[in-house]
Chains A and B, each alone.
Chain A
Amino acid sequence: MRGKRVGVDQAVRDREFTEFAVARAEHLRRTAYLMCGDWHRAQDLTQIALAKAYAAWHRIHGDGGVDAYVRQIVVREFLSQQRRRSWHERPSDELPEQGLAGGQEQADLRLSLLAALERLSPKRRAVVVLRYWEDRSVEETAAVLRMSRSAVKSASLRALADLRVLLGEDLTV
């Protein structure tokens, strides 16, 4: 009897999860792409996040928290991967010199916003994506990134300033 109940629960879970995943996977993959700049890596990040959401479905489902949970996993997994890679790539929290030099010449290059995003440090990129692509509040962004609200605001301001320099134009957020 109990086995049958469990079977029904799992069937419901699978159906609910699949509906969610089909509906949200494309948006999640785009969010992941904005952070990592690579579609294949974005696909991996999305699948990992969805798989973890499935494993936690019983406690995140029903209170509207699934979207927030999956978004959090995507961002944290991305940053975790960046940290592991950083032993080799050593990304800097500051923009490369050539990215900022020669303001007028830089403006003439007309970087795309996506290309400019890639030049930000991973954490600042995550802040920008959460705040202005996902439209998350400072508090939500801080919770996802395990940062203080003030650090989020500071990172956001600096990232936008960097983007304005890189793009050589006004940036409306």
Chain B
Amino acid sequence: MTSEESFHDRIEDELAGLRPPPIGEIAGDALAQGRRIRRRQRALGVAGGTAAVAGVAAGALALGGVFGSGGGAPVGPGAWGAAPTSQHSSAATPTPTPTPTPDPTPAYPSTPTPPPNSSSPNTVIGTIPASWKPPAADGHLSDPTNTDGQSVAELLIDDLSQIGSGGSGSAFSGSSLAGMNANATLTWTMPHGSVRISASVSDGAADGKTPQSQCLPAFEMDYCAAATLSDGSVVMVQHNSGGYAAGSSQSTHNTMVMITRPDHAAINVVEWSDGPLTDDQLYKIVSDPRWGLKMDGSFVTHADKVVRPFSGG
């Protein structure tokens, strides 16, 4: 391929050389199928409205007990790269320099339900809680080393230990691209259930674009909130349903909280579950100032030893 020939042009050329079957009456067929979908939606909408409200209320009650007020120790504002605790099972170990716990927000099911009037946008646009403060100022790394998947898993476990009521990590997977991205996914098992959770740290300036500080209502999601914090960090929250946890065929909720800091580090965490982790708890994870594309060398070495990647069959 010559430098003048773009990916797009080359695809165009190759497609032009194919002989696809006639597209036929696809517009008419789609219209007829769309009418059937609409009829079904109307029928289900009338029958399902009452049941949905009851279901959300029951879920809120059930999940409220899992992480009720005072459910876990707060996250300490450690310096960038400060080594987290190493154990993979914990009982809500307190951090050396705890900060006051923000007021807990309701559990996941409190997500605003889209109004029944379907002429409104598909996505409910919310606001970032005032209790969400910017991450603590950066610190000093004595031995800066590229963050890898195991380090992300280790730090995620440490954060989970501090926000939850104790648990253990398993089924790790992860990868990294030096200076660009490091990510990990794991299962966090607590006495009350488990979540599949991913964390990722990346260079938010790699594509030269400003972070997305506004929600786009055209895209289908249940709930979205975004804001720029006082230090310039951009935060976004998204709730979706119908997504799949990695390795699972079960459709479930997923919640993503992402922050892009002024130093361009972009950290996001996504959990798939029926909602035992609140947005507040996920924000505590992403706002941990220890996240970075470089971490302390001793921490990375330790993580590489203790985190065993999962090899699914």
B3 touches A146 (CB 8 A): no
A132 vs B122: C-alpha distance when bound (angstroms) = 27
Q: Does B33 contact A (CB under 8 A)?
A: yes
A66 vs B27: C-alpha distance when bound (angstroms) = 15
Most A CB contacts (10 A, CB to CB) among B6, B33, B249 go to B33
Q: Does B61 contact A (CB under 8 A)?
A: no
Interface residues of chain A: helix, strand, loop or mixed (majority) = helix
Known pairs A47-B33, A113-B11, A148-B200; A154 contacts B181 (CB<8 A):
yes
Q: Mark B1-16, 1 if CB is under 8 A from A, else 0.
A: 1111111101100110
Known pairs A25-B23, A65-B218, A154-B180; A146 contacts B243 (CB<8 A):
yes
Query: Using Cβ atoms and an 8 Å threshold, which residues of chain B touch A69?
Result: 218, 220
Q: Which residues of chain B from 246 to 299 have any CB-CB distance to chain A below 8 Å in the complex?
A: 249, 254, 256, 258, 266, 268, 270
Q: Which residues of chain A from 140 to 173 have any CB-CB distance to chain B below 8 Å in the complex?
A: 140, 143-144, 146, 148-151, 153-154, 157-158, 167, 169-173
Q: Does B120 contact A (CB under 8 A)?
A: yes
Q: How far is the CB of B279 from the nearest CB of chain A, in Å?
A: 16
- Which of B133-141, B187-195, B206-214 binds A? B206-214
From B5, B8, B30, B122, contact of A47 by CB (8 A): B30
A146 touches B31 (CB 8 A): no
B218 touches A68 (CB 8 A): yes
B180 touches A58 (CB 8 A): no
Query: Using Cβ atoms and an 8 Å threshold, which residues of chain A touch B202?
Result: 148-150, 153-154
Q: Which residues of chain A from 49 to 92 have any CB-CB distance to chain B below 8 Å in the complex?
A: 50-60, 63-65, 68-69, 72, 83-84, 87
Considering only CB atoms, which chain B residue lies closest to A24 in the complex?
B27
Q: How far is the CB of B211 from the nearest CB of chain A, in Å?
A: 8
Q: How far is the CB of A123 from the nearest CB of chain B, in Å?
A: 11
B5 touches A172 (CB 8 A): yes
Q: Does B35 contact A (CB under 8 A)?
A: yes
Considering only CB atoms, which chain A residue lies closest to B202 in the complex?
A150
Q: Mark B205-240, 1 if CB is under 8 A from A, else 0.
A: 011010010001011110000000000000000001
From A53, A54, A132, contact of B35 by CB (8 A): A54
A143 vs B215: C-alpha distance when bound (angstroms) = 10
Considering only CB atoms, which chain A residue lies closest to B244 in the complex?
A83
Q: Which residues of chain A from 93 to 128 have any CB-CB distance to chain B below 8 Å in the complex?
A: 112-114
Known pairs A87-B249, A170-B3, A173-B6; A59 contacts B121 (CB<8 A):
yes
B200 touches A47 (CB 8 A): no
A150 vs B258: C-alpha distance when bound (angstroms) = 10
A26 touches B23 (CB 8 A): yes
| Interface residues on chain B, size class | 35 or more
B268 touches A171 (CB 8 A): no
A173 touches B212 (CB 8 A): no
A151 vs B204: C-alpha distance when bound (angstroms) = 11
Number of interface residues of A (CB under 8 A): 64
Query: Using Cβ atoms and an 8 Å threshold, which residues of chain B touch A114?
Result: 11, 14-15
A55 touches B38 (CB 8 A): yes
Most A CB contacts (10 A, CB to CB) among B2, B175, B216, B219 go to B219
From A34, A65, A138, contact of B207 by CB (8 A): A138
From B5, B27, B244, contact of A21 by CB (8 A): B27
**Can you list 28 pairs linking A and B with CB atoms under 8 Å apart?**
A14-B31, A18-B27, A18-B28, A47-B29, A50-B27, A51-B34, A54-B30, A54-B31, A54-B35, A58-B119, A68-B219, A83-B244, A87-B249, A113-B7, A114-B14, A133-B7, A135-B8, A139-B212, A139-B216, A146-B243, A149-B204, A150-B181, A153-B181, A154-B181, A158-B177, A167-B1, A171-B1, A172-B2
Residues of A within 8 A of B (CB): 14, 17-18, 21-22, 25-26, 29-30, 33-34, 39-40, 43, 46-48, 50-60, 63-65, 68-69, 72, 83-84, 87, 112-114, 132-133, 135, 137-140, 143-144, 146, 148-151, 153-154, 157-158, 167, 169-173
12 extra interface residue pairs, beta carbon distance < 8 Å, beyond A47-B33, A69-B218: A22-B27, A43-B26, A47-B30, A50-B30, A50-B31, A52-B37, A55-B34, A58-B118, A64-B218, A84-B249, A150-B183, A150-B201
- The 9 closest A-B CB pairs, nearest first, are A54-B34, A150-B202, A50-B30, A65-B218, A21-B27, A51-B33, A55-B37, A51-B34, A148-B268
